[in-house]
Amino acid sequence: MRLPALLLALLAAAAGCAQTGAPPAPSGTAGSASAGPSANPNLALSASGDFAPDATQAIVYDRKLAPEGARASLLVESELEAGKTRSSLVVEGFLPGRTYGAHLHANPCGAEPDDSGPHYQNKPGKVTAKNEVWLDFTTDGTGSANASARNPWLLTSERLPRSLVIHAERTKAKKPDRGAAGPRVACLTLG
């Protein structure tokens, strides 16, 4: 088994996210039943899927940039003790030797690229890699890649990211286009 395929399998198994059908509402696991919203309990979100023509959780908007056989697996974990949110992305089957932008978004995927809404932000209004989750990746010769991000804040159960959007270009880090990454190629709904 190739390493990216193994990583996809491990992420899917660890998160229990081999899902089909309609996307579920996001879920998290609280570290304690008495933990209130201000406690920022441990939360985990995950998704895994093939960008197939009939998929409802893994949707393709540009088949040229996400060819048949493209797939992705994402795990987002917010840990109270660490005080951080960690995100790990594994992709396979994309165009070889190409850079894509990838971000967590506020809404679930939909039939139209803009249905996933804006980037998920820890503090609304701040467009930075520290305030958002940017998971840009460059594929190897087989179209596979891994990306990860660590953010110095915790998710809260009141407001969670609902999708991962893969964009056609690397995320621009400088103004005036900071945060822009071109057209939306594919979308994976988090559950």
For 120-159, write each residue's pLDDT tens digit.
Answer: 999 999 999 999 999 999 999 999 999 999 999 999 888 9
**Cα four-point dihedral sign 112, 113, 114, 117:** positive
- Of the pLDDT bands very low, low, confident and very high (cuts 50, 70, 90), residue 42 is confident
CA dist., res. 8 & res. 6, Å (int)? 5
- Whether 50 has a pLDDT exceeding 70, the answer reads yes
| pLDDT at site 81 | 85
Q: What angle do CA 77, 100, 13 make, to 5 degrees?
A: 35
- Whether 12 has a pLDDT exceeding 70, the answer reads no
Burial category of 23 from C-beta neighbours within 10 Å (exposed 0-12, middle 13-18, buried 19 and up): buried
- Whether 5 has a pLDDT exceeding 60, the answer reads no
Count of beta carbons in the 10 Å neighbourhood of residue 74 = 27
CA dist., res. 155 & res. 55, Å (int)? 27
State pLDDT tens for residues 61-89.
999 999 999 999 999 999 988 899 999 99
SS3 of the chain: helix, strand, coil, percent, to 5: 10, 30, 55
Quick check: bond before 176 cis, omega within 30? Answer: yes
| pLDDT at site 85 | 97
Q: What angle do CA 182, 185, 190 make, to 5 degrees?
A: 110
| pLDDT at site 41 | 63
Count of beta carbons in the 10 Å neighbourhood of residue 41 = 21
Write down the pTM of the prediction.
0.81
Residues 54, 111 contacting (CB under 8 angstroms): no
- Of the pLDDT bands very low, low, confident and very high (cuts 50, 70, 90), residue 167 is very high
